[in-house]
Amino acid sequence: MNKEMNEAIRILNDHSLKVISSKTQIKNETIMVEDEILGSHYTIHKTGYVRRRCTGWGGYLNHYQLNPVKKVFCERWGGYNVERILFPGEYVKLAEIVVSVVTKRRNKQEKEAEEFVKIYEKFK
């Protein structure tokens, strides 16, 4: 692991994200973390991708890319295409993206739980 990866892991740990990378992932310079609060897994890859892994219907594993996107004009067919913005080797930047997504998802869950409690209290 390099210095950049260690700094990214520190940032992730500061936000209660547990590193669960396998030996193979560490060898390939991939960081996998688990959000124990929401039960989500995130991977940060040296190629510059950041993904959220989750299990869908029927137990299938889905990967959602979290990288920002930009619109690029495609001359070939005269329309716009969406292109991922990658940050190769920028582990700290990728960790910040994960933290941003986790924070938003946790806040959303907290608001939904508060709304549920309010509705539940009306029927008591």
Please tell me the predicted confidence (pLDDT) of residue 123: 79
pLDDT tens by residue, the chain, 124 residues: 789 999 999 999 999 999 999 999 999 999 999 999 988 999 999 999 999 998 777 777 888 999 999 999 988 888 999 999 999 999 999 999 999 999 999 999 999 988 888 888 877 6
Residue 102 CB neighbours (<10 A): 21
User: What count of residues does the chain have?
Assistant: 124
Residue 66, φ and ψ in degrees, nearest 5? -105, 0
